[in-house]
Structure 1
Amino acid sequence: MGGYDQTLRPFLWRAERLHPGQEVVSRTHEGIVRNTYAEFGDRTRQLANALEDVGVGDGDRVATFCWNHHRHAEVYFAAPNIGGQLHTINPLLPAEHVQYIVENAQDKVLLVDQSLLEPLEAAYDEEAFASVEQFVVMSSSLPETSLEPVTDYESFIDEYDSEYDWPELDEDTPAGMCYTSGTTGKPKGVEYTQKMLWSHTMASLTPQGLGIEETDVIMPVVPMFHVNAWGLPFSTTAAGAKHVYPGPSPDPADLVSLIEDEGVTMTAGVPTVWLGVLEYVENHGADLSSLERIIIGGSAAPESLIKKYDDLGVEVVHAWGMTEMSPLGTVAHLKADLEDLSPEEQYAKQAKQGLIVPGLEFRVVDDDGEEVPWNGDDFGELWIRGPWVTDSYFKRPDANEADFEGSWLKTGDVVTVDEDGYIQIVDRAKDVIKSGGEWISSVELENKLMAHDAVSEATVVGVPHEKWQERPVAFVVPTDDAEMDEAEFHEEIESFVAEDYPNWWTPDAVVHIDEVPKTATGKFDKKVLREEYADEDLLGDD
């Protein structure tokens, strides 16, 4: 016999009843806002009543165009638990992508932060937004806006009762939606069912996942508009832990202040965020004594970053996932039988993407469709399947055929697996550099370059070469105190890379830039650099 349907509703129910006084803290444009779980639950039910009253029913999508804060978290639980679908939209996407996403998803209600009104108004198109029947500005008063019909959030929920009779939902009911960033074409929609989000939450709570406990204070810096902030609003609530939301466009000073003032024990975000925080701490000092671990994902965490935080008493936990996976796939915990390794060997394990999370299966497939051995050398494309991994894209049969093989998601990541089962991403299939019949990992080169004291950020791309097919070119952002010119720096980089890699891996050119371009989710955007330097002879006459 089967059990009761696996849905999100019991997570909020449990948090309210077992931990009613636990806090949900937000940094907002109106200041710091504090609610208890009891108050959070009441406000969520008020929102549920309001959404239902404007016509949101089974399958209707409630879109958010928002940063990380308590009101956004209330939508996380209200929209899916009334039978609707939470649809988080990335506000950093180009206007034409936002238009495509809203029209493709047919959103019924759209909630927007006050600070994001301008980009949403710029993206507004009457035809693309025809499905939207109500705009709600996430504030306590209504600012001037051209959107209509529109109201502010507090007025939207204020007149409604805090009692709400949640419907009993089937676990296969769509509960969430997020679109990929669309760097290689139109964004692709990924739907999450109640069961997928429930399963992902339970896996996240395990020690082999993120190991969240009720004593934790969790600050998701990873945006709530991107893959549900890696599921942290759900898993933090399920654990009964304290939420801390950093609000609109937090800078390193904001993040450090919240860590100090709220006693944050765990936080999460992309490497560039933590490089910025580290630089702030080194220049200004900070009390990070409460902080136990940082979950880093989105792109590879440089080993040098892991070491520097370790010196501060903070563990960096490397994780990997995808929008298609809700997103958690691997976490680089150190296995018990490896605790006797030297510090350097442990750092090397931590710098990999890690061990598969319980509940998922994977295989690594070469160009001939054969599985590669777990030896840390042979590589292939990573395929994954499991209860929180999607098996199709929303309204995109063309993409389905290319990216799925039965129940398997073909991730597009080229990886190796070592003898201990640690997965390491060598590159994205589209970014790996093929030189003289051999492969060069741009990711490994980037991590090595960013370990240099004179490098703030670095990315590596393959440039066409008449003899070798492709050669690596490094784009680096020097630190403020770097004094070498480009020629001296190139020589220095050659020697530095040669410490760990063969000569033919050494970049043929080193270009100084002011900033590495980023995608809408904070990842390095190599496509921009390829386009910008397409007409330049980066390799000279070589």
Structure 2
Amino acid sequence: MAGYDQTLRPFLWRAERLHPDREVVSRTHEGIVRNTYEEYADRTRQLANALEDAGIGDGDRVGTFCWNHHRHAEVYFAAPNVGGQLHTINPLLPAEHIQYIVENAADRLLFVDQSLLEALEGAHDAAAFESVEQYVVMGSEVPETDLESVTDYESFIDAHGTEYDWPELDEDQPAGMCYTSGTTGKPKGVEYTQQMLWSHTMASLTPQALEIDEDDVVMPVVPMFHVNAWGMPFATTAAGAKHVYPGPSPEPEDLVRLIQEEGVTLTAGVPTVWLGVLEYVQEHDVDLDSLERVVIGGSAAPESLIRQYDDLGVEVVHAWGMTELSPLGTVAHLKSDLEDRSPEQQYAKQAKQGLIVPGLEFKVVDDDGEEVPWNGEDFGELWVRGPWVTDSYFERPQANEVDFEGSWLKTGDIVTVDEDGYIQIVDRTKDVIKSGGEWISSVELENKIMAHEAVSEATVVGAPHEKWQERPVAFVVPTDDAGMDEDEFLAELEAFIAEDYPDWWTPDAVVHIDEVPKTATGKFDKKTLREEYADEDLLVTEESDD
């Protein structure tokens, strides 16, 4: 038996004691903010006292509606270590999903960025937000708002001391919570225990994963509301490395400036971010001398992007994960016995989702439940299990029956495994569209489009896109009296969808067809549509690149 439970608390203790002067740097609406680990730990203990004074304790959920900055990082360690649960909320979701998530999680306290206050007010619903007792605006003042029981963050913590007696927690104590984006229904909650986050952190530090060391300067561009910024705030603290947080809605210029001024060595985000940075670097007289590696996940990293960063002397580390995996699952490091391969062969390996992270197991099964050979050709569904893989969804027994098989999580990703053990995703079992690292539900879009009076039938598929990886394309059967061409309908559809969904959910193209092909069971046959239109340029570049 372990002599002491595996929890997050020792990571912060170690960073403060061994690296008290190392910085936590944050770009905020108030400018650049710098704290040492010693100051960061003091502020985190002040926040812990404030949470306890607000009644937050065993199992209570603390919601965050925030970008990447030092105050959010303080909540990352304070909320779980007082015995509560850090619940990060994606502000880019439709209002009805945000309402469902807050109500389902029963958040008691909700932290919100000033720049996201309007979005939260737009999603606010008295019944769905009934559990929320107080809102805390990240900053030193409270802007004008319709929300009640609101205070600012600095006032919230200032009245409290920097000493705090952390409770001894069981490693099975729930510490975090994220929701998957709804694909065929409501978002599904995934809970992370102290032990799951501890295990994920330790694995992330290994050379076979993210290889974070104490002399690194780490800038997670992946949002902290997106599966705990892939666990990087925890792993960076555990390593005693310097944090750099890019703050609200960073542009490529902001990221490049932070890389240069703060000496960033490691950063991470979806491919769209790094395409933008690459364009900026090519158009301006800048260098990325300090930058050693970029972790790309959320969507597949194009091989061309890997090559272009390699030309700049920056290694692209291609990774794959899921909310259910806390989230890290695979990383495409080159094995030592591949170092004598040609550059083309090496790039091909790096473009795959990669090798399973130490601590996890996987298998790939076909429709008959048999494991497929590792030959890079046979494919099946990827199943994963391990100490940081969830075994159930929060209050979703029906989903649990479908998505889990004993200790195995059935990921829903269709993959091949080559002879060297590199996993490559070739398709998805669910028709979900991933654009710029964010999910778009084709089913919800279809239902919305078919609610339009000029539409008889509609289906939505994801089409490959150079910048966003995938963008939705709608195949529409107009009613007999519709009387609109495709361009006119696309413009009208944009306004129609905007009534309920973010503008980036709007399809980039609308194709009028006579009938949606159907399977033998009467379902829309998207595979047939994909094959029929595979060679056609369906995307409206001007619209999708805005």
| TM-score past 0.5 threshold | yes
CA shift, 1:3, in A, is 2.6
Query: Secondary structure of the equivalent of 2:162?
Result: coil
| RMSD of aligned residue pairs (Cα, Å) | 2.1
CA displacement at 1:462 relative to structure 2 = 9.4
Counterpart CA distance in 1 for 2:470 and 2:112 is 33
2:540 aligned residue: 513
1:19-418 aligned at under 5 Å gives the runs: 19-418=19-418
* Cα deviation, residue 463, structure 1: 9.2
Shift of 1:84: 0.4
Task: Kindly state the Cα deviation for residue 178 of structure 1 after the two structures are TM-superposed.
Answer: 0.3
Contact 1:431 1:461 in 2 (8 A): no
Matched to 2:37, the amino acid is Y
**Percentage identity across paired residues of the two chains:** 79
Instruction: Sort the Cα spacing of 1:178 and 1:251 in 2 relative to 1 into closer, same or farther, 3 A.
Output: same
Local SS of the residue matching 2:184: coil
1:505: how far off? 9.8
Structure 1 position 517, deviation (Å): 6.5
TM superposition shift of 1:430: 3.0
1:466-514 residue CA offsets vs partner (Å, 9 max, x unmatched): xxxxxxxxxxxxxxxxxxxx9xxxxxxxxxxxxxxxxx89923112413
Query: What is the one-letter code of the residue matched to 1:220?
Result: P
Per-residue deviation, 1:141 = 1.3
Alignment partners' CA distance in 2, 1:295 and 1:75: 24
CA displacement, residues 285-320 of structure 1 (integer Å, 9 cap, x when unaligned): 322000000000001000000000000000000000
Superposition deviation, residue 361 in structure 1: 0.3
Q: For residues 432 and 373 of structure 1, what CA distance do their matches in structure 2 show?
A: 27
Contact 1:457 1:515 in 2 (8 A): no
Ranges in structure 2 where 5+ consecutive residues have no aligned partner: 434-460, 476-508, 510-530
**Offset of residue 146 of structure 1:** 1.3
Residues 212, 236 of structure 1: 8 Å contact kept: yes
Paired letter, 1:103:
E
SS at match of 1:509: coil
Q: Would the aligned equivalents of 1:268 and 1:296 in 2 still touch at CA under 8 Å?
A: yes
Q: Which runs of 5+ in 1 are unaligned?
A: 434-441, 451-455, 465-485, 487-503, 519-542
Counterpart AA for 2:303: E
Judged with a 3 Å threshold, the aligned counterparts in structure 2 of structure 1 residues 182 and 457 are, in CA distance, closer, same or farther, namely closer
Q: Shift in Å at residue 73 of structure 1?
A: 0.2
Query: Which letter does structure 1 place at the counterpart of 2:261?
Result: D
TM-score by length of 2: 0.82
| Alignment size in residue pairs | 465
Contact 2:174 2:194 in 1 (8 A): yes
Do the aligned partners of 1:426 and 1:432 also contact (CA within 8 Å) in 2?
no
Over 3 Å counting, the alpha-carbon distance change for 1:365 and 1:289 in structure 2 is same
**Structure 1 residue 129: Cα displacement:** 0.7
CA contact (8 A) 1:269 1:298 kept: yes
Shift of 1:142: 1.6
Is the CA contact 2:183–2:432 (under 8 Å) kept in the aligned structure 1? no
State the distance in 2 between where 1:6 and 1:310 align. Answer: 38
Q: Distance in 2 between matches of 1:462 and 1:82?
A: 46
Amino acid in the other structure paired with 1:351: A
Residues in 2 aligned to 1:326 and 1:353: alpha-carbon distance in whole angstroms: 16
* Amino acid aligned to 1:508: D
- Partner of 1:9 in structure 2? 9
1:185 deviates by: 1.4
Distance in 2 (alpha carbons) for counterparts of 1:274 and 1:186:
31
Q: 1:516 to 1:208 in 2, by over 3 A?
A: farther
How far apart in 2 are the matches of 1:182 and 1:317? 28
Give the Cα separation in 1 of the matches to 2:152 and 2:31.
17
Q: Separation in 2 of the partners of 1:511 and 1:56?
A: 51
CA deviation profile, 1:88-111 (whole Å, cap 9, x unmatched): 000111111111111000000000
Q: Deviations over 1:181-208 (max 9, x none)?
A: 1132111000000000000000000000
Structure 1's 515 and 169: CA in aligned 2 closer, same or farther, altered over 3 A?
farther
Residues 259 and 368 (structure 1), Cα distance of their counterparts in 2 relative to 1, 3 Å cut: same
* CA distance 1:462–1:114, shift in 2 (3 Å): closer
Give SS of 1:363's match.
strand
The answer to whether the 8 Å contact 2:5/2:170 transfers is yes
In structure 2, what is the Cα distance between the partners aligned to 1:161 and 1:460?
50
Please state how far the C-alpha of 1:2 moved relative to its aligned partner.
2.6
CA distance in 2 between counterparts of 1:410 and 1:168 reads 34
- Asked whether the 8 Å contact 1:258–1:264 carries over to 2, the reply is yes
- CA drift at 1:145: 1.1
Cα 1:505–1:267 shift into 2, 3 Å: farther
**Structure 1 letter corresponding to 2:24:** V
Question: Are the aligned partners of 2:352 and 2:424 in contact in 1 as well (CA < 8 Å)?
Answer: yes
Between the aligned partners of 1:505 and 1:359, the Cα distance in structure 2 is 42
Taking a change above 3 Å as real, the CA distance of residues 119 and 306 of structure 1, as seen in their structure-2 partners, is: same
C-alpha deviation, 1:283, in angstroms: 1.1
Post-superposition shift, 1:516? Answer: 7.8
Relative to structure 1, is the Cα distance of residues 90 and 458 closer, same or farther in structure 2, using a 3 angstrom cutoff?
closer
The more displaced of 137-146 and 208-217 is 137-146
TM-score (norm: length of structure 1): 0.83
Does the 8 Å CA contact 1:110/1:132 hold for their aligned counterparts? Answer: yes
The answer for the alignment partner of 2:526 in structure 1 is none
Q: Give the whole-Å Cα distance in 2 for the aligned partners of 1:457 and 1:359.
A: 32
